[in-house]
Amino acid sequence: MEDKTDAGSSTFPKEIVRFLASPGGHSLILRGMAGTGKTTLALQMIEELAQLQQSYYMSTRVSDHSLFNQFPWLMDKVKEGEILKARKKLRKKADSEMQVEQILLGLAAIKGEIKGEKVKAPRGELQKLEGNIESGDEEGATAEPTGEDEITVTVGSMMPEIEMAYDVVDKALPDRTLIIIDSIDALAEKYGVLPSKLINVLQKDLVEGCGTNVVYVLETPDPLLDYLGDGVLYLSLDSSTGRRIREMDLLKLRGCEIRQPKYVYTLLGGRVRTFEYSRYSKPEDPKPFDPVLAIDDKHMSSGNTDLDEMLEGGLRKGTIALIELSPGVPVVSSAQIENAIICNSAVQGHGVAWMPTKKTGAETAREELLGFLSPEVFDKNVRILEPHAASESPKDYTMTLEGGDVKVDIKWQDHQYALRDTKQPFLSVIGFDSLESIYGPGVLDGFMDYLTSLLNNDGILVATVTPSVRSTNRLADLAHTHIRIDKTSGVTMVRGDEPYTAPYAMVAPEPGDFRPKLVPIL
């Protein structure tokens, strides 16, 4: 049997879906800074749970027209009957006969005395509050509640939006309903009551009384009302990297295991998309690398169409591309980008000189790409630079470095000869942590002769640097392209310093591939 608690899409937090789909009623506080996407998240909850629960969305600040303009997909959902939205004019006061009927129905529903009909949602707390408002006992937002046994029924509907929510719950019973109030602050302000009092009314009548799920959207990040919710979500913006990163904290989900307490998310396309922790490992059945062609004769593709788009066309010939890893970022994150650049050049017949980061052995580096590249293509077009002591018997695909003088070990003429059966322009992919470990922190001075010849022949240098590399600043000054790789809340992200770009989340590649998808954080 299908587990309904695992419903929802793969890009929405499973914990939230499980929380709202689990037995019983639940209340959820959704708060955050302005512009963090609280309304977008609230609407997406409706979509994620559409097959499990009927939904009612109450917007107190934004008009229908504005919502449909901002979220075009919402109109389709409304047409499909998946969203019942509360935007009605105030009800007219009922005549005296209707008043009597309303009193009798309200009391009978609370006492469970309706026979032969479906039991209604209890309205005792709502009727108390409405009575207090009409009688003037709710002074601004400071009045105390009436006695426990007092039930005051109003003339007509004092709080039509809330009354409609109760009606939706009535019609859906015994099935559950998801009620979203956006925002509870504005609704409380409208009727001159404290938000906490309104939350308590709905908690007792709907959440506890008939197992309804209620989500309260707050317009403030203030945590003062957190204790009233069974669950609490907090949305925030992190600008520590100089870019705006959206983060979702799952502070509390009572009765639900929180496996990932914080998510990075984007609002791309007017929807919430979250990113889970991930770590790349080579697929068991790798697919042959499908090359990506350059946009023009001035560029070479990075082998990743998303990265090409981010870099405004890919890698420009005759330039330096710097890939900088921030502290705590695993080398495998840059390897996914490096390997795509290498494979894309090699599969099109261009020569590649490669020194992997962290002094990875030549055999290990080659093995990582086999399957994506055939052994014949790799051995013909790729040369791995490694110290003489690293291998007892040099392979055809390696170039040995003596380790004394970089000017002697890495020369343009030697690379031309080793790659004589390949096409130019050549590509050099150098892990500078490995290079500096062999030749010292001043290696860039001795490397300049080779670099100048490479660039003059339209070649490209891809330099990867870790936090320990001493040559980073000089390389950044020389680089035409500068990519940074960061890690936030377990999610690896790529951003461009040159060209300047928004951050992109690296997500899992297609089955059999190693190239990550890049999704902008907007």
Confidence of residue 63 (pLDDT cuts 50, 70, 90): low
Distance CA 156, CA 153 (A): 9
Among 215, 243, 275, residue at a domain's last position: 275
Among 260, 275, 290, residue at a domain's last position: 275
- Write down the pLDDT at residue 75: 66
Distance CA 492, CA 486 (A): 6
**Structure confidence by residue, pLDDT tens digits, 110-121:** 444 444 455 567
Confidence of residue 231 (pLDDT cuts 50, 70, 90): very high
Tell me whether residue 99 is in a domain: no
For the CA atoms of 223, 224, 225, 230, the dihedral, rounded to the nearest 10 degrees, stands at: 60
What CATH number is given to the structural domain containing 342? 3.40.50.300
CB atoms within 10 A of CB 99: 15
381 and 471 both lie in a single domain: yes
Query: Picking from 19-33, 144-158, 324-338, 492-506, which range would have the lowest pLDDT averaged per residue?
Result: 144-158
Q: CA-based diameter of the chain, in Å?
A: 102
318 and 261 both lie in a single domain: no
Confidence of residue 322 (pLDDT cuts 50, 70, 90): very high
270 and 305 both lie in a single domain: no
Tell me whether residue 269 is in a domain: yes
**Structure confidence by residue, pLDDT tens digits, 439-492:** 999 999 999 999 999 999 999 999 999 999 999 999 999 999 999 999 988 899
Tell me the pLDDT of the chain averaged across its residues: 84
The strand pair at 262-266 and 273-275 is best described as antiparallel
* HSE-up (13 A, CA, CB side) for residue 1: 3
Query: Picking from 16-30, 56-70, 408-422, which range would have the lowest pLDDT averaged per residue?
Result: 56-70
Tell me whether residue 503 is in a domain: yes
Tell me whether residue 292 is in a domain: no
- Write down the pLDDT at residue 8: 57
Alpha-carbon separation of residue 385 from 370, 394, 463, 466 (angstroms): 18, 11, 14, 19
Structure tokens that stand for 238 in this block: 């992190």
Provide the domain limits for residue 312: 299-520
Distance CA 1, CA 43 (A): 28
Q: Quick one: angle between helices 124-135 and 195-202, nearest 10?
A: 150
Better-predicted residue by pLDDT, 158 or 415: 415
252 and 367 both lie in a single domain: no
Q: Are 86 and 56 in contact (CB under 8 A)?
A: yes
Better-predicted residue by pLDDT, 449 or 167: 449
Q: Where are the beta strands (DSSP E) in 70-225?
A: 84-85, 177-182, 213-217
336 and 233 both lie in a single domain: no
- Write down the pLDDT at residue 278: 80
56 and 186 both lie in a single domain: yes
CB atoms within 10 A of CB 522: 14
Distance CA 361, CA 21 (A): 50
Q: For residue 378, is pLDDT > 50?
A: yes
Contacts of residue 258, defined as CB under 8 A and 6 or more positions apart, other chains included, come to 15, 250
Residue 500 per-residue DSSP state: B
Distance CA 196, CA 174 (A): 27
Tell me whether residue 259 is in a domain: yes
The secondary element (H helix, E strand) that includes residue 202 is: helix 195-202
Beta bridge partners of 30: 217, 233
Structure tokens that stand for 495 in this block: 């951003």
Peptide linkage before 467 cis (omega within 30 of 0): no
Q: Are 170 and 164 in contact (CB under 8 A)?
A: no
246 and 303 both lie in a single domain: no
48 and 184 both lie in a single domain: yes
Closest CA to 267 of 41, 492, 49: 41
Query: Picking from 254-258, 274-278, 423-427, which range would have the lowest pLDDT averaged per residue?
Result: 274-278
Tell me whether residue 280 is in a domain: no
Q: Are 58 and 86 in contact (CB under 8 A)?
A: yes
- Write down the pLDDT at residue 281: 87
Confidence of residue 101 (pLDDT cuts 50, 70, 90): very low
Q: For residue 213, is pLDDT > 60?
A: yes
Provide mean pLDDT across the span 485-501.
93
Amino acid found at 306: D
Residue 431 per-residue DSSP state: E
Q: Where are the beta strands (DSSP E) in 448-520?
A: 460-465, 481-488, 491-498, 504-507, 517-520
Query: Picking from 159-173, 306-320, 406-420, 479-493, which range would have the lowest pLDDT averaged per residue?
Result: 159-173
Query: Picking from 33-37, 134-138, 277-281, 465-469, which range would have the lowest pLDDT averaged per residue?
Result: 134-138
Tell me whether residue 139 is in a domain: no
Tell me whether residue 345 is in a domain: yes
Closest CA to 230 of 202, 204, 253: 253
- Write down the pLDDT at residue 119: 56
SS3 373: strand
184 and 84 both lie in a single domain: yes
Query: Picking from 122-136, 160-174, 185-199, 479-493, which range would have the lowest pLDDT averaged per residue?
Result: 122-136
15 and 72 both lie in a single domain: yes
Indicate the number of domains in the chain: 2
Q: Quick one: angle between helices 38-48 and 72-79, nearest 10?
A: 30
The side-by-side arrangement of strands in the sheet containing 491-498 is 398-401, 382-387, 350-355, 423-431, 460-465, 320-325, 481-488, 491-498, 504-507, 517-520
262 and 213 both lie in a single domain: yes
400 and 496 both lie in a single domain: yes
- Write down the pLDDT at residue 390: 63
Provide mean pLDDT across the span 313-341.
93
Distance CA 293, CA 119 (A): 66
